[in-house]
Amino acid sequence: MEFRYPAAVAEKNARALNYLTKGLKNIEAGKEIFNKILDELGNAIDGYPYWHPILTAPPHQDGVPSLSDIEAYGGIDHTKQFVKGFVTCPYSEETAINLVSKVDKIKGLHAYRLHGSLYHETAYPVVVKALDIELEADGTIRSRDALAWCVQDLVKNARNAQVAETWWNIRSCILGEPHGSRSSLLVNQYTGGHMRKILEALNNSGMYGPIKESSLEMFSEKKRKTISETLIRAAIKSHNNTDNKFEFELRGEVCTAEIRDTWNDGDELSIRVMIGDFDLCATGFYYPKKDLLEPGFSPTGKRALAEKFL
């Protein structure tokens, strides 16, 4: 489904509001607190991009952490994320006090306890905020800051990289969640478009190594379904009903297929078709009695190869 910013904002804010207030005795008071949080932290989101200060400011081990992996955020519970930071509602007052103390020692972050209830009457809500984030008029992170943080994150591990990841492989890591093809609730289309150009320029420079393609999300859902159905139906047609694993040729490519009777009763066949070493892979299920085909997960592989089967 196409990403629509206003609809996504309304949905995420409504879900966060319900989550943080449905267990309260005084829901209206909780809604008032929640609205103040929106004013301070921006819209509710599902996940941060890897370059976000909430993830990069605290000390952490190599790799990309989630909030629960970061020692400074130890004890967070019943947490909702927003553009500038997050709200967490542990049941222990000691945990809340320790969280505020640890976060306030980190440059660029600030934490404080809320005066009022969220999530549950017996919880001790804490707000954690990235101080250096400024928002555009549309509620997304200021472009120049987002681009600078993104570039810093992209280049930091270049020396140790083995492959270059395409935009379609890692756009959720760059845009945050939820997102569309080049924007999210954290960055607008202008910012996301430049992030994509920067990534593609770095990939084309060769600094990461060979480009790895796997996601085919540049195609519409209908086209991805067509790719899977074309490969799977060809496999079914080429199957001799004796070999579970076999090869066949389609549009100049050698395909390896594996067909398995899922329940050993002839009602459902599990099918996987692969070209090369995961250069293109499609999975699905076939129901012989109904001549019904259901593609499984979205196909993965290289774009140029996938286009042959549209």
pLDDT tens-digit readout, 37-56: 999 999 999 999 999 999 99
Looking at residue 67, the DSSP 8-state letter turns out to be G
Confidence of residue 63 (pLDDT cuts 50, 70, 90): low
pLDDT of residue 64: 59
pLDDT of residue 2: 57
Minimum mean pLDDT range among 2-6, 63-67, 178-182: 63-67
d(CA 19, CA 125): 13
Confidence of residue 3 (pLDDT cuts 50, 70, 90): confident
Q: Which two tokens mark 13?
A: 């804010």
Percent of the chain past pLDDT 90, that is, above it, reads: 91
d(CA 11, CA 2): 14
Q: Half-sphere exposure of residue 135, counting CA atoms within 13 Å on the CB side?
A: 17
Confidence of residue 139 (pLDDT cuts 50, 70, 90): very high
**Is pLDDT above 90 for 117?**
yes
Query: What are residue 179's phi and psi, to 5 degrees?
Result: -145, 165
The single-letter code of the amino acid at 61 is Q
Confidence of residue 10 (pLDDT cuts 50, 70, 90): very high
Dihedral (CA of 90, 92, 98, 104) sign = positive
Of 168, 171, 206, 201, residue with least CA distance to 186: 171
pLDDT of residue 162: 93
